[in-house]
Structure 1
């Protein structure tokens, strides 16, 4: 069994005790082949001494956060520019024609500045690698630390041994027969 675990969420009504702290948790780590799973708190997933996210997942999350930050910045710049434009249009109505020509020059400068800012931010966003969309903020693929991984392997071995023992006990030929001769 590989040491690769996928993070999944279950319904809050199906939450069970965390493997570490026994608090109810709706987060589950499961192997890709669905042979083993256990419930774990999201706070334990952030602990480097418990599990490490795979490199691809960590990069994807970092890229997603950068892209979201850039998108927020772009939206703020656009909003700021739109507010400036509304104020300037209001001023245009109030001022005389001679001042209108000066405002147009300023508007052109502001518009160029806005376009330059937006272009720089979009270039920055495009340069970052494409990230996949997801609802979780954390990574989705983990590798357990050696100690915890060995605990899971030992638990699986014990379960298999118990199953074999139950099968053997169901077999009547396992037990000795009653003596048939006189004592």
Structure 2
């Protein structure tokens, strides 16, 4: 039986979790072959273990490039926001000096407090958005098992096939010897 050493990562619902093939802890991650001939549940921690499996090279580089691009985009956005906030503060200070030189210090402090709160809220929103990008979404989806674990999967499938053939042979009465019909 020939089985390709390419495994796709799939997720199942929490209530459908089963024991990990390696450590027997409940897991919702499943590695399955593209032709759906074999599958097994595996912990996310084992997927990052180089001794167990390695991600597909093409997909790993694409994901790394995507991560870099996302980080750069986030950094650009933060720099733009900081710059815009500084520009607003400068404009408000200029307007405040021109319009109201008589404005009391208390009013300025209140405005600054409101701006600080707004900046803090923006930061919180930005951080929450970055946390939403979970590692599971950015993890590779195609893996190749190491040769030892791949051989274990092949052996398991081969043994299951042999056991199935043996059960079929035992259920077939033609495989047993017949009762002698002549007298001894």
Q: TM-score, normalised by structure 1?
A: 0.76
Structure 1 position 80, deviation (Å)? 0.3
What is the aligned partner in structure 2 of residue 75 from structure 1? Answer: 77
Structure 2 counterpart SS, 1:95 = helix
Q: Within 2, Cα distance between the matches of 1:156 and 1:45? A: 21
What is the aligned partner in structure 2 of residue 47 from structure 1? Answer: 49
Q: Within 2, Cα distance between the matches of 1:135 and 1:17? A: 19
Q: Within 2, Cα distance between the matches of 1:153 and 1:21? A: 19
What is the aligned partner in structure 1 of residue 176 from structure 2? Answer: 175
Q: Within 1, Cα distance between the matches of 2:34 and 2:55? A: 15
What is the aligned partner in structure 2 of residue 106 from structure 1? Answer: none
Q: Within 1, Cα distance between the matches of 2:137 and 2:41? A: 17
Q: How is 1:1-183 mapped onto 2 (pairs within 5 angstroms)? A: 1-96=3-98, 136-183=137-184
Q: Within 2, Cα distance between the matches of 1:137 and 1:24? A: 22
Where do 4+ consecutive residues of structure 1 move more than 3 Å?
A: none
CA RMSD of aligned residues (A): 1.6
Q: Within 1, Cα distance between the matches of 2:76 and 2:93? A: 26
User: Any idea what the Cα deviations from partners look like across 1:62-109, whole Å, max 9, x if unmatched?
Assistant: 112101111110110121012112101211212249xxxxxxxxxxxx
The number of residues matched between the two structures is 147
Structure 1 position 169, deviation (Å)? 1.4
Q: Within 2, Cα distance between the matches of 1:83 and 1:135? A: 34
What is the aligned partner in structure 1 of residue 102 from structure 2? Answer: none
What is the aligned partner in structure 2 of residue 122 from structure 1? Answer: none
Q: Within 2, Cα distance between the matches of 1:46 and 1:137? A: 13
Q: Within 1, Cα distance between the matches of 2:98 and 2:179? A: 119
Structure 2 counterpart SS, 1:179 = coil
Q: TM-score, normalised by structure 2?
A: 0.75
Structure 1 counterpart SS, 2:138 = coil
Structure 1 position 135, deviation (Å)? 5.8
Q: Structure 2 unaligned runs (5+)?
A: 100-134
